Amino acid sequence: MLSGERHLMELPDGVEKVPWDRNEFGVSLYEILSVTVPVLEEVVRMPGHYTVKVDPLSSKEILHDNGFYYCDTLVEPYCSRERFVFYHDDAADVTSHYSLDMLAAMCEGAFTYGRFHRDFNLDRRSSDLRYINWLRELDRAGHVLALIYGGEAAGFLAFSSNRLVLHAVDKEYRGKGLAKYLWSAACKKMFESGHDELVSSVSAANLPVVNLYISLGFRLRNAVDVYHRLVE
């Protein structure tokens, strides 16, 4: 795990702190929203881990010149109520009543395609803890659904408004072709709550989940390349 102290400094315009950071990496986590030379030169003086998301066709020269390295490409699945393809299984259901600790345990090994797990500067166990912290934040906001199969918790899907922001299937249920039934139950619940469109974000390398979304009627848009930099 990385080591270091949290430095409390005023953030420059165009940089924001990741709200669910609990310092598992030994440094604070930030996202850069404005990629300019002054901003990049400012952040290199501030210890932390930085994320930048940019258009895949844009020049990356300014990022490489300032020590950023490629981590992932994200795409945005989106689906309207009319395009949604529902796969029915009597055993699949969702509930807002669950054991948070049980859902948190499902994060182990569930995010291997995630950019924090793929970042060679970060410890994978710490990356798991980051996603667990995010899940706990979403739980406090009441934005988590447990995915149920045969009466047992098989995964979770967390959301913010109409965005599916975090999801996982328990290792005991992975690779069994159940995800489309579990996601169908969750998406149906969200459409019934009043949303006309659902959106998500997924690594382009995570083909099982990309194909899952496509099977449910989702299309893909808004690809972004993700770059990281660690400043110790």
- Do 23 and 98 lie in a common domain? no
Task: Give φ, ψ of 73 to 5 degrees.
Answer: -125, 125
Provide the CA 25 distance to its chain's centre, in angstroms: 17
In a domain, 9, yes or no: no
Q: Residue 26's pLDDT is what?
A: 82
- Do 93 and 143 lie in a common domain? yes
With cut-offs at 50, 70 and 90, classify the pLDDT of residue 6: very low
- Do 68 and 173 lie in a common domain? no
Asked if residues 43 and 63 have their Cβ atoms less than 8 Å apart, the reply is no
Domain boundaries, position 37: 15-72+227-231
The tens digit of pLDDT for each residue in 112-127 reads 999 999 999 999 889 9
The tens digit of pLDDT for each residue in 50-86 reads 999 999 999 999 999 999 999 999 999 999 999 999 9
pTM (2 d.p.): 0.89
Choose the weakest-confidence range: 25-34, 56-65, 134-143, 145-154. 25-34
d(CA 92, CA 53): 35
In a domain, 7, yes or no: no
Q: Residue 1's pLDDT is what?
A: 39
Six-digit token pair at 149?
Answer: 């199969």
Choose the weakest-confidence range: 39-43, 98-102, 162-166. 39-43
- Do 88 and 127 lie in a common domain? yes
In a domain, 8, yes or no: no
* Residue from 165, 20, 170 nearest 105 by CA: 170
Whether pLDDT at 164 is above 90: yes
Q: Residue 13's pLDDT is what?
A: 86
Q: Residue 2's pLDDT is what?
A: 42
CATH of the domain at 208: 3.40.630.30
Q: Residue 23's pLDDT is what?
A: 65
Whether pLDDT at 45 is above 90: no
Average pLDDT value for residue range 22-28: 77
- Do 167 and 139 lie in a common domain? yes
Whether pLDDT at 109 is above 80: yes
- Do 164 and 51 lie in a common domain? no
Provide the CA 166 distance to its chain's centre, in angstroms: 5
- Do 179 and 142 lie in a common domain? yes
Count Cβ atoms below 10 Å from residue 52 Cβ, excluding itself: 25
- What's the chain's Rg over C-alpha atoms? 19
Average pLDDT value for residue range 194-216: 97
